[in-house]
Structures are given as structure tokens and as C-alpha cells.
Structure 1
Amino acid sequence: MRASETFRVYRATRASRVAAVLGLVALIALVLAPYWAGRAELRLLGEVFLYLSLATLWNLLAGYAGLVSVGQQAYVGLGGYVFFALTIFGGLHPFVALPLTVIAGAIVSMPVAALIFRLRGAYFAIGTWVIAEVFRLGFAQVGALGGGSGTSLPVQVVRSLADGRSAREAVTYWMTLGVAVLVIAFAYLFLRARRGLALTAIRDNELAAASLGIDIWRTKFVVYVVVGALTTFVGALIFLTKLRISPEAAFSVNDWTAFVIFIVVIGGIGSLEGPIIGTVLFFLLRETLADLGAIYLIVLGAVAIVIMLVAPRGLWGLVRERTGLTLFPLGYRVDRKKGGQ
């Protein structure tokens, strides 16, 4: 009898399977929310889903590709304005205009990426903010869309979504839920694929990744364009729910970038679980402290500083470090077993 060793290679764990079942149950409950939740709850949940989408996309960009952008509001505002232009001047139904914003975001993000990829580190971050300011100033000059004061979505466009106010709010809610599920599913499948493996290698050690033959520039370019396109789509949906757009609201660095960075940092950058935890915590803090005015922002800053000192990789990073728990299995695991022969 000779001892031998066998190996088992796998991805899914017991925790990830349980999380998948619980996630499915939660998704079914959320799909049925228009039948059990009130109007205020639906609007709050819709906002949660939109911020979760933005946080997941920014995390894919910064947490995996290493592209720390502080100008993603450029694509949020672009999506809103393109959507308004397509529905008001193009006469397109909102369900037709929304997918077209993805194409617009991809087209615009290509030359932007080619330009700002010449910058590195802090200069890259500043460059993304400058691009967003150029977008804001540019759209403020478009008189047909209200110029600096903005414009509202025509009543006939809003009514084309569904018959009746309750039905329209339900449809809008389902779209926000759908985009959150779409973004998380895309990020998960992308990171599990070959290009996602290359992206993870770049995040861990860019020099080593390049020595293995990974095209660093092309991989980052693809990620930037895809994130830009999807962020544009989320931006269009944001201003469909708001029914009004203006340059200040559309390109707000505070609303669409600062809060998103806060969510990812406290939740856990470089993980799919992090943005989910960060979004929940952010909205709990906001709903609890929003009436405090400026103190609310001070508390958010204090929370971010404390978490960064205690858990530099966020709350989920702390949990994963101590327990090894993974809810979204991206890499492979190997178990070694001894057997007889």
C-alpha cells in the first residue's frame, strides 16, 4: 500500500452556495416590492440600487484596474443629457433611448481613455476630474437643453413609461433593480473570465503581469470603456427617475463620485462584496443623520477615517482576512487529500 495525494480544484464554497440561495430569495422579494412597499420605500430602494451600480463599476475601475478616477460624474451626466436629448429631440421611447446611451458612453470614453491614459497616479485622477468639468461646462452651453438652468423631461415622455403613476413608479423601480443585478452579474462574470484574471494580475503586480505577456494598456482600456458605457447607462436611469437635469446636478462630484468612493472604501475595495456592504452602511448613515445638516458630512468623513485606520481594505477585507469567507468565488481553490493505493 503506497500513500498518494489527490487534489481537488474548485471555486464555489459552502458559504458562496448559501449566499447564492439567500441572494435569490432576496431578489425575489425585491422584485415583488411594488406589491408590498410604499412609494417612499420604492424610491429609496431605487436610489440604493443606483448607488450600488455606480459603486460596483467604480470598484471595477479602481479596485481591479488600478484606475483611480475622481471624474466618473462625467459619464453620469453624459448619460442623463444623452437620454434627455434622445427622448426630447429624437422622439424616441425611453426604452429605446436607454440602451442607446450605452453606445454613446462607449464612443465618448474611447478618445477620453486614449487621452488620460498618458497620465499616471495623481495626475490621472486630476485629469479625470478636469474631463468631467469640461463636460459640465460644455453641456451648460447647450441652450436647447436648458443651458445652465437645465430642463425637465416632457410629460408625454414620462407617461409613455406606463399608464398611471403607480405603474410608472413600479416600472422605474424594476429598471433600477435590473441595472444593479446586471452590473453585479457583469462584474462577476468579467472577473471570472480570462480578461478578469489578467486584470487581477495587473492589480496585484503590474510589472509581473507585463512580464507574463499581459497587454496592460489594452486590458485597462477595455475596462475603462466598458465601465464608462455602463456608467452612462446608470446616469440615464438616474435622471429618468429624477425627471429633471441640470449641469450642476448631472456633473456633481459630491453626489456621483465622492459618495461612491466612500461606499467602496468603507465596504472593501477590490472585492465584489465590498460595494454591497458599503452601500448598505452609507444609506443607514444617511437616513439616520441626514437631518443634522453639515454634521452628517463630518460624521461620514470620521467613519471613513476610522475604517481606513482599522481596516485599510474595508469592512469586507477585515472579515475576509479573519475568516477567509468569500461570497463571490472568483479564483480557484485547491484542496490536497492523502489517500491510499
Structure 2
Amino acid sequence: MSAPSFRIERSTPESKVALGLGIVALIALAAGPWWIDRNGMRIVGEFLVYLSLASMWNLLAGYAGLVSVGQQAYVGFGGYFLFAWAVLGGLPPLLSVPFAGLAAAVLALPISALVFRLKGAYFAIGTWVVAEVFLLLAAQVTVLGGGSGISLPIDVVRAIGASRDARDMNVYWSTLGIAVAILIGIYILLRSRWGLALQAIRDGELAAETTGVSVAGAKRLLYVVASAGTAMIGALIFLAKLRISPNAAFSVNDWTAFVIFITVIGGIGRIEGPIIGTLLYFALRSALADLGAIYLIVLGCVAVVVMLFAPKGLWGLVADRFGWQLFPTTCRLVLTQPSSQTSPSLKGE
């Protein structure tokens, strides 16, 4: 008898194909300013924004069970931080993007101490209330335009790029860089020791806690990370718009409702989910753009149908059916040599 032999693998055939396609897509997108027109760059940039926001929200809801409807608070905070940095401080606006994330992470610590006292639906309502407080506070800052908002001064706009084309390219590349950094960062996080804890929480919070996982600490880490990432994206959103106002910055419809839709239909609790969801959302938006308010009704119907027939989202349905993993985060044993044994012969006496 020979013992079977195994090897430990993390990658899958699908993940190797996805890696190759991802590298090709990244090269193509990085060269976008040379083959995509201005309108195309705007659409691609918006796609990257929603992909990033959905990935951040997926971290919260998909791995920690923190269903927040107030992430627009950090989108608006990031945008206003950039304007305050540039208008009041006279500093380069692009440099404010990472500092917006750092400031949001610091701000998220005391806010998490407050909202984490709430559970379930009360947590969701609490995050929305925090976002509304942010909106009201922003409307009182008269030096940044108060309730009517403010545009970036012309000298600050020129600091982004010497010409309009240069500005568009710099904002586009910054958005692409943030999106890629977020996806890679999430993948690295989920492959780490913290990632194992997060996946344990996703699969069963009580079971994870009984095995020694610090559920409260992991949730707080995710909330801080998601807040920082969302704030950086918010800074880039309003850097591209060159204008900000409280209602636009803290819009629950634009920065949370659509993000939840994307994550739910794509597949919550999976890295691939926001990618699939964003692709489908933009496809539906392009196809139904001329229908006016009916467009939103169709989106709602699509979300209901997916939740009824594919509770884990479209990618969850595919993964369960075919076992595909484009971003494998755990190791697996692969049988390389089956055991062989000779059955003893039976002789009659």
C-alpha cells in the first residue's frame, strides 16, 4: 500500500486566466487617454468609482455583517476635505487624496464607538443619521460655500494639470490607481490572518467568536478601512467635478443606494461580486437611460428577482454551480497521487 500524496495550492485554473486578463485590462486602461475619448474616460472613471465604492461596502456588509446606509458620509467628507485642503490651505489637490483617507480613518474611530452600540437595522439607521449630521454641518461652513456649495478656484484647477486634457488624464489615472489599490488591498487583507477571521465571521459570527476570533476588533478594523477608502474615492469624485455641495456630496441615492444594488446583484461577501455587479449596473444604465423614471423601477425589479432566485448574487450562483474562484483567498489540498493497495486474495480451505 502506498500513501496518497497531496500538494497545497491557492491558485485555481480560473484565477490564472483571470490574472492574465486582469493584467491585459490594466495595461489597456492605463493607456486609456491615448485611445479613449473624453466621454469614454468619464464613463470608465465613473465605473472605477462605483467598483471601488461597492468593494468597500462589500467589506462591511459581506464580511462583517455591517449593513451601512450611511457611507455617503465619508464620500462627502473626502470631497470636502479636498476642497478645504486646496481652497483654505492652498495645497496641491491631488496630494490631499491619501490625506483624506487618513483623516477619515481617524474620524471613523470615535464614530464606530458610537454606532457599534447599535445592532442590525438600528445600526443601518444610525449610520444614515451620522451621514445626515455630516450634511447639516457641511451646509454651515460658509467659507466652503455653505448650502449652495463651492467650485475650485482657477489656480487650484490649474494645479491639477496645465490643460484640460492634462487634468482629465491626471484624475483618470488617480482613479484607476485607487481602484486597483483597493482591489489588491482587499485581496491581500483576505489572505492574511485577519482575512481568515473575517471569512469566519462571514460564515458564522457566533462560531468565529467561540474559536477565539475578536469579532468586535475585526469589525472595527473593517469599518475604519472602508471609511478611509471611501473618503479617498469621494475626494477623487469631486476633484473630477471641480465643484461640491452638501446635497451632492452626501447623496444617499448616488453613493449608497446604487452601491448596495451593485453589491447585492453581483454577490455579497465575494471579491468578484462588485466587479460583476458594476458591469451589470452600467449595462442596464446604458440600455435603459432613455426610459426616465422607469429605469429606476427596472433596477428595483432586477434586484428583487436576483435576491429571490440567487440570494448569494449572480457570482455566488456561478461559484456554487461551477466552483469558480477568480480571487482564491484560502489554500486547498490537491491529490497528486492516489493510494494504491493490493487486495488480499481469498482462498477456500
Q: Give the deviation of 1:240 after TM superposition.
A: 0.3
- Correspondence 1:338 to 2:343: no
The percentage of aligned residue pairs carrying the same residue is 60
Q: Give the deviation of 1:310 after TM superposition.
A: 1.4
Q: Give the deviation of 1:339 after TM superposition.
A: 3.8
Distance 1:330 1:43 in 2: 32
Residues 249-286 of structure 1, C-alpha deviations (whole Å, 9 max, x = no match): 00000000000000000001010111001001101111
Q: Give the deviation of 1:340 after TM superposition.
A: 5.0
Residues 278-298 of structure 1, C-alpha deviations (whole Å, 9 max, x = no match): 001101111221221110100
Residues 46-81 of structure 1, C-alpha deviations (whole Å, 9 max, x = no match): 000011000000001110111110000000000000
Once the two structures are superposed, the pairs formed by residues 169-188 of structure 1 within 5 Å of their partners are 169-188=168-187
Distance 1:293 1:24 in 2: 37
Distance 2:43 2:211 in 1: 46
Structure 2 residue aligned with 1:224: 223
Distance 1:163 1:133 in 2: 37
Greater CA drift, 43-52 or 302-311: 302-311
Distance 1:203 1:20 in 2: 25
Structure 2 residue aligned with 1:236: 235
Letter of the 1:199 counterpart: L
Q: Which runs of 4+ in 1 moved over 6 A?
A: none
Once the two structures are superposed, the pairs formed by residues 246-265 of structure 1 within 5 Å of their partners are 246-265=245-264
Structure 1 residue aligned with 2:344: none
Structure 1 residue aligned with 2:26: 27
Distance 1:288 1:147 in 2: 37
SS of the residue 1:335 aligns to: strand
Structure 2 residue aligned with 1:46: 45
Q: Give the deviation of 1:3 after TM superposition.
A: 2.6
Once the two structures are superposed, the pairs formed by residues 264-283 of structure 1 within 5 Å of their partners are 264-283=263-282
Q: Give the deviation of 1:139 after TM superposition.
A: 0.7
Structure 1 residue aligned with 2:100: 101
Distance 1:331 1:97 in 2: 36
Distance 2:167 2:313 in 1: 37
Once the two structures are superposed, the pairs formed by residues 1-341 of structure 1 within 5 Å of their partners are 2-336=1-335, 337-340=337-340
Q: Give the deviation of 1:39 after TM superposition.
A: 0.6
Distance 2:152 2:286 in 1: 28
Distance 2:289 2:157 in 1: 29
Structure 2 residues not aligned, in runs of 5+: 342-349
Letter of the 1:68 counterpart: V
Letter of the 1:338 counterpart: P
Residues 151-190 of structure 1, C-alpha deviations (whole Å, 9 max, x = no match): 1111111111122111111111111111110110111100
Distance 1:288 1:160 in 2: 37
Measured on the aligned residues, the alpha-carbon RMSD in Å equals 1.0
Aligned residue pairs total 340
Per the normalisation by structure 2, the TM-score is: 0.96
